[in-house]
Amino acid sequence: MYLQDGSSLMRHSNTSVAAEWPPAGLEAVTVCPLCGAAERSLAHSGLRDYFFESAPGSWSMYQCRLCESGYLDPRPNNQTISLAYRRYYTHQPYDSFPKGLRRVWHALREDYLQAVFGVRSEHALWPGRWLLRLFPIGRRGLDAALARNLEPPPMAGGRLLDVGCGNGNFIEFAQRAGWQATGVDNDPVAVATARARGLNVVEGTLELLDGESACYDRITLSHVLEHVFDPWDMLARCHRLLKPGGVLWLETPNMNARGHSVFGPYWRGLEPPRHLQLFSRAPLRDKLVEFGFVDIEDRFSSFATAAMWRESQEIMKKAGVDRQWRHSWLGQLFAEVEALFSADSREFITLVCVKKNDRP
């Protein structure tokens, strides 16, 4: 989870990150799980879960020399991966509307979201819809980070599936925008949190929907692909579930992000061992084409750089590592400017694509 509103999820606990993962709960990854190539280089060793302090163990990440993706070796197996999610942000209930100065910002933001995405809100404060239009870079951040570049639902009523929905924040957002929104998540605590809010959430994986096909107008995958053991299988299932002409929105950390080169093993996007693999942009786009997606477009959240810088700084502090100038706001500014012009250097890969319609 990457916080983009100035708050923090850093938690202190009595669990030591120096504890070790059960040896029988590990599996070797001898070739790149994304392209199958064996040639690789060691990107990081001794990685720890400093951020959530939930997962024991020390981890090594390798970078594939063919597709430039990163992956853990060894990694947790399917029987023990739940140990990494004992304390996680999706277990937290939805925050109430803030107070103080943040309340004004959120109210202006709600007015913009209501005007652009049709998201009804009793807290909307005019003229947020006009004020935020004066800041196009910040507006792009809202469009991607909060609204996931959502479009109005079809006239007949659109069905939306949020895969890895967590506590259901985006499902609620989509419902307020007029979508028939459903979520699926295999974390029972997160599902219970979402259901307590009256949201339609299924506990499990996409395999539960194997009997369905071509039934959703839109599917969203927000920071999910890096967590699953077979991301290509997940994309194939999403393609099957989408109607022809349906839209897939996905976001995942970028292995080649500027923040990764600046913060190294303390970069927030690594999140060992929950992030089993990290993608590079071009191969991911190529894979989407293989599955039958067209009109693939990059989206950009201007909040991503600030969030990753802030949370990576927190990780460095927890690890007892001194910061240098490139870790400061000045380094963040350079990264932000570069991200405006280079999609390959952005903290996140954010893509919107369409399932090809073969009908004449």
At 90 the pLDDT is 57
87 has a pLDDT exceeding 90: no
Regarding whether 159 and 72 lie in a shared domain, the answer is: no
Task: Note whether residue 60 is domain-resident.
Answer: yes
Tokens coding 71? 């992956």
Q: In what order do the strands lie in the sheet with 201-203?
A: 201-203, 180-185, 159-163, 216-222, 242-253, 348-355, 293-298
Over residues 22-44, the mean pLDDT reads 96
Return the amino acid letter for 151.
E
Regarding whether 197 and 286 lie in a shared domain, the answer is: yes
Regarding whether 60 and 176 lie in a shared domain, the answer is: no
Q: Which residues contact 134 (CB under 8 A, 6 or more apart)?
A: none
Write out pLDDT tens, residues 161-178. Answer: 999 999 999 999 999 999
96 has a pLDDT exceeding 80: no
At 245 the pLDDT is 95
Regarding whether 39 and 169 lie in a shared domain, the answer is: no
Reported as type and span, the H/E element at residue 201 is strand 201-203
At 93 the pLDDT is 56
Regarding whether 85 and 147 lie in a shared domain, the answer is: no
At 15 the pLDDT is 38
pLDDT grade, residue 122 (50/70/90)? confident
Task: Note whether residue 116 is domain-resident.
Answer: no
At 109 the pLDDT is 87
Task: Note whether residue 126 is domain-resident.
Answer: no
**Rounded to 5 degrees, what are φ and ψ at 26?**
-115, 150
Task: Note whether residue 156 is domain-resident.
Answer: yes
Task: Note whether residue 11 is domain-resident.
Answer: no
Write out pLDDT tens, residues 311-347. Answer: 999 999 999 999 999 999 999 999 999 999 999 999 9
Write the CATH number for 153.
3.40.50.150
- How does 180-207 read in b/e, with b if 16+ C-beta sit within 10 Å? ebbbbbbbebbbebbbeeebebbbebbe
From CA 236, how far away is CA 1, in angstroms rounded? 24
- The rounded Cα 287 to chain-centroid distance in angstroms is 18
114 has a pLDDT exceeding 60: yes
The residues facing 184 across adjacent strands are: 163, 202
Over residues 348-357, the mean pLDDT reads 95
From CA 190, how far away is CA 187, in angstroms rounded? 5
At 2 the pLDDT is 45
68 vs 13, residue with greater confidence: 68
100 has a pLDDT exceeding 80: no
Write out pLDDT tens, residues 189-207. Answer: 889 999 999 999 999 999 9
Q: Which residues contact 330 (CB under 8 A, 6 or more apart)?
A: none
Task: Note whether residue 109 is domain-resident.
Answer: no
Write out pLDDT tens, residues 231-275. Answer: 999 999 999 999 999 999 999 999 999 999 999 999 999 999 999
Regarding whether 336 and 238 lie in a shared domain, the answer is: yes
Regarding whether 158 and 305 lie in a shared domain, the answer is: yes
Tokens coding 20? 């070790």
Last residue of a domain, one of 47, 70, 89: 89
Last residue of a domain, one of 63, 89, 115: 89
Task: Note whether residue 300 is domain-resident.
Answer: yes
Regarding whether 230 and 166 lie in a shared domain, the answer is: yes
Regarding whether 284 and 202 lie in a shared domain, the answer is: yes
The CA-atom distances, in angstroms, between 1 and each of 4, 151, 279, 348 are 9, 23, 16, 12
> Between vectors from CA 89 to CA 96 and to CA 190, what angle results, nearest 5°?
85
Indicate the pTM of the whole model.
Answer: 0.90
At 38 the pLDDT is 98
> Between vectors from CA 25 to CA 21 and to CA 26, what angle results, nearest 5°?
85
Regarding whether 182 and 70 lie in a shared domain, the answer is: no
Domain count, the chain: 2
Task: Note whether residue 40 is domain-resident.
Answer: yes
Regarding whether 150 and 53 lie in a shared domain, the answer is: no
The CA-atom distances, in angstroms, between 328 and each of 90, 300, 332 are 29, 22, 6
Mean pLDDT computed over every residue of the chain: 89
Structural domain boundaries enclosing 343? 142-355
Over residues 290-295, the mean pLDDT reads 96
Dihedral angle over CA of 294, 276, 210, 245, nearest 10: -10
At 14 the pLDDT is 37
At 101 the pLDDT is 76
Last residue of a domain, one of 65, 89, 113: 89
Question: What is the sign, positive or negative, of the torsion defined by CA atoms of 75, 91, 173, 101?
Answer: negative
Over residues 27-54, the mean pLDDT reads 96
pLDDT grade, residue 13 (50/70/90)? very low
pLDDT grade, residue 105 (50/70/90)? confident
12 has a pLDDT exceeding 50: no
Regarding whether 53 and 161 lie in a shared domain, the answer is: no
Over residues 279-296, the mean pLDDT reads 97
47-51, 185-189, 241-245: range with lowest mean pLDDT: 185-189
